[in-house]
Amino acid sequence: MASTSSSEPPSVSDVEENRTRLCDEFAAIAGTGSAVAQCYLAENDWEMERALNSFFEADMEKVFEVESSPERKTVPEPKKTKVEEKPAEDCIDLTEASPASRCKPGDEDDDKLSLITWNVDGLDTDLLSDRARSLCSFIALYTPDVVFLQELIPPYIKYLKKRAVSYLIIEGNEEGYFTGMMLKKSRLKFLESEIVAYPTTQMMRNLLVAQVEFKGQKLCLMTSHLESCKDQAKERMKQLQLVMERMREAQSDVTVLFGGDTNLRDTEVAKVGLPTGVLDVWERLGKQEHCRYTWDTKANSNKNVSYVSRCRFDRVYLRPATKDGVPHLLPDHMALLGLDKLDCGRYTSDHWGIYCSFATN
């Protein structure tokens, strides 16, 4: 039987099959129909990454019709992490149209630090662009000083870099899914950042750390997505222990703030224990019931599961500075975000987001 040379071009049927598969993948990621997918892929020589970048860049121009803000002062080069320093010329700043005094509930004090932490579920590609626009709407509304994000994917990061010119974006990785930070340039002075590995993770998890200054106060900001699933409790507790060691070991003139999707159960936290001086912000603010469950399949239908699961997976921990004469940040307010279903029929994420503010004591 004659052999077929590997150098022969693919058959018409193979090309059609491959392009159909690419259209399906594009549609799943971008939340479009097959016709839109085919258009963007064809215009970009059937290269998935180029086509997705083109789609998200075009799509984001429709979100906030505001003028581009002037370029901010360039920050120092970080350590071991990718940081978006200089925005592209056609970026549109999503934060310029919303005055902070209106966006922070009950907060007209410019000395307060504000934070959003949210697992945005980028791995769920269903209507991803609608959900990404919703996240941007919350950032525009609340104009937080710090944003911690988990389950980011590269297209999501590209989207945010176009929408959030007034924020410095730090990535916990460049491939797969990862965490990220957004730091308000006009409010925070960025010093350096690093990625701390979890040696035995099976799920690409790590700890993203940034050193910043806020109105002369030294802050250590940390976010992570701890190991998921009930049967990963042992690994998750090891990761929590590493986080707590970093918080405990920080210098006494530094305030340490951690926020993220911890996947923790209360029994696991009790086994590890919180170091002296580390506060669970939700507990410190009185364990308000309406802020308890950040993972709630009873109220959130994004995962469309038959069982009810209500857990406080997303948590914020604070270790105020202890040195005499140094300003101390203490929890002031907490609220959950993303509780309303979007017009597309989905929620912003399968997790509720957390908004917190901190007052100087």
Give me the number of domains the chain comprises.
2
Label residue 354 exposed, middle or buried (CB < 10 Å: 0-12, 13-18, 19+): buried
Domain CATH number, residue 318:
3.60.10.10
Rounded Cα gap, residues 356 and 115, in angstroms: 5
Q: Are residues 176 and 268 in the same domain?
A: yes
Domain CATH number, residue 19:
1.10.8
Residue 121 lies in a domain: yes
Residue 20 lies in a domain: yes
Name the residue among 192, 150, 191 with its Cα closest to residue 173. Answer: 150
Is 149:115 a contact under the CB 8 Å cutoff? no
Q: Are residues 167 and 288 in the same domain?
A: yes
Residue 71 lies in a domain: no
Please state the separation of Cα 266 from the chain's center in Å.
23
Residue 310 lies in a domain: yes
Rounded Cα gap, residues 38 and 44, in angstroms: 10
Is 120:156 a contact under the CB 8 Å cutoff? yes
Find the farthest-apart pair of alpha carbons in the chain and give their distance in angstroms, rounded.
87
Rounded Cα gap, residues 183 and 178, in angstroms: 17
Q: Are residues 208 and 146 in the same domain?
A: yes
Which residue range is the domain that position 31 belongs to?
12-60
Q: Are residues 232 and 294 in the same domain?
A: yes
Answer whether 0.95 is exceeded by the pTM.
no
One digit per residue, the tens of pLDDT, for the chain of length 361 reads: 444 444 555 666 677 788 888 888 888 776 677 777 887 888 788 888 778 767 765 654 443 233 333 333 333 333 456 675 555 445 555 545 444 334 444 444 688 999 999 999 999 989 998 999 899 889 989 999 999 999 999 999 988 998 788 999 999 998 899 999 999 999 999 999 999 999 999 999 999 999 999 999 999 999 999 999 999 999 999 999 999 999 999 999 999 999 999 999 999 999 999 999 999 999 999 999 999 999 999 999 999 999 999 999 999 999 999 999 999 899 999 999 999 999 999 999 999 999 999 998 8
Residues annotated as catalytic (active site), given as ranges? 261
Residue 70 lies in a domain: no
Residue 222 lies in a domain: yes
Q: Are residues 139 and 279 in the same domain?
A: yes
The amino acid that residue 143 corresponds to is: T
277: left (phi over 0), alpha (psi -120 to 50) or beta: left
Q: Are residues 273 and 307 in the same domain?
A: yes
